[in-house]
A = this chain, B = another copy of it.
Amino acid sequence: MINVGIIGATGYTGEELINILLRHPQVRITSVSAKLDKPRKIFEIFPRFKTRLETICSQPNIDQIISKTDLVFLATPHTVSMEIVPKLLKAKRRVIDLSADYRIKDIKIYERFYRTAHKDKIHLAEAVYGLPEIYRVKIKEARLVANPGCYPTAVILALAPLVAFGIIDLNSIIIDAKSGTTGAGRRLTEDFIFSEINENFKAYKVNVHQHIPEINQELTKIAGKRINVTFVPHLLPLNRGILTTIYVRKIKSKHLAPDIIKIYKKFYKKEPFVRIRQEDDFPRIKDVVGTNFCDIGIRIEKELIIIISAIDNLLKGASGQAVQNMNIMYNFAESTALL
C-alpha cells in the first residue's frame, strides 16, 4: 500500500487520476492540491466524487505533500512541474510528471516549442520517458517519469514496429491526427466555448504543434536515424479520444500485409494495453474510450502503408498511462485499476 499525492487535481487529468486511483486497492490518495482561491472539498469541485473522496483540495504546500506521500503525480501545466520536481526528488519522493517539462531531452528544442527557459536541467537527463512498451525496465527503477503526451503515445505506438524493423522510408511519415477537446485541458479561451467546437471541425497548429519534437525524438531513438514527421492535428467535437491516420511509404514493395501484421503482433506480444487488429480492420475512438488500450489497424497498399491508432487521450494518453507507470514502479500488477 502506498500513499500518493496529486498536484493539479482540478484539471481533467487530475480528475481522471482520482477516478482511477479510487479503484486501486494498493493506493491511498493522501494529498490533493491545486491552484485555488480557497480550500474546497474535492467533491465540491467534482460532484461525481461525493461520498467517495472527502479530502480537501488546497494550494500545494510541498513540505506537507512530502510528509504525506510516497509518490506524487504532477498534473500541473508545463513550466510549473520543473519548479516542483527538484524539491520532491530531494526529499526522496518518486514523481510521475504528466506535463511536458521532462519529455524533451534537447533543451533548445524544449525552449523553442514551449517558449520558456528550462529551469531544471539537472533532472532532465535522468527522467525516464514513461512509455512502458519501450522503456518498461527503466521505468521500474525511475525516480522521475516523464509521462508521454497524448498524441505522441498514439503515434509512437503506431509506428514503432515499422521504424524499428526498417520497413519504411523514414522521410515519408505523414500523421493526420484528430483529438477530442479534453486533450487541451480545461482551457478557458474563446476557441473552446461549446458553440465554437460543436458542429465544427478544424486543423490547428498545422505542422508546428509542440508534440512534434517529442515524436521525432522517440522515433529517432527507435530507428537509430534522424526522423522528421509531418504532423497535422485536428480538433474533434467530442470529449475524449484520439485517432491518428498515418501514411508511410514502404522501402521495399516485397513486404506483404500478413508479414507486417505479424511484425506488429510480435512486437507487442506481451503488452497488456496494445491490441493489433487483423489486416484492414480499423479501430474507432469508441473502442478505446474509457479504457487504457491503444488499438492499431493497418492496411498495406503496393507502395504505401496506412496505420490507424486510437487511444483515450485521458487514459492511455495521460492518467491511465501514469497509473500504468506507477504499477510498474511499485511492482503492482500492471493492469491494476486499469481494466
Contacts and interface: CB of A to CB of B under 8 A. Distances in A.
A187 B195 CA distance: 10
Contact of A207 (B12, B199, B236, B299): B299
B199 A291 contact: no
A192 B194 CA distance: 6
Interface residues of A, number: 66
Nearest to A288: B48
Interface stretch (A60-68, A240-248, A322-330): A240-248
A295 interface: yes
A207 to B, nearest CB: 7
A183 to B, nearest CB: 10
Contacts of A189: 188
Contacts of A290: 48, 290
A105 B159 CA distance: 39
Given A282-B206, A339-B52, A195 B181 contact: yes
B203 A285 contact: no
A87 interface: no
Given A193-B186, A193-B193, A195-B181, A200 B232 contact: no
Contacts of A280: 206
Closest CB pairs A-B (n = 10): A202-B284, A194-B197, A176-B176, A200-B286, A47-B287, A201-B285, A181-B194, A194-B194, A199-B238, A195-B239
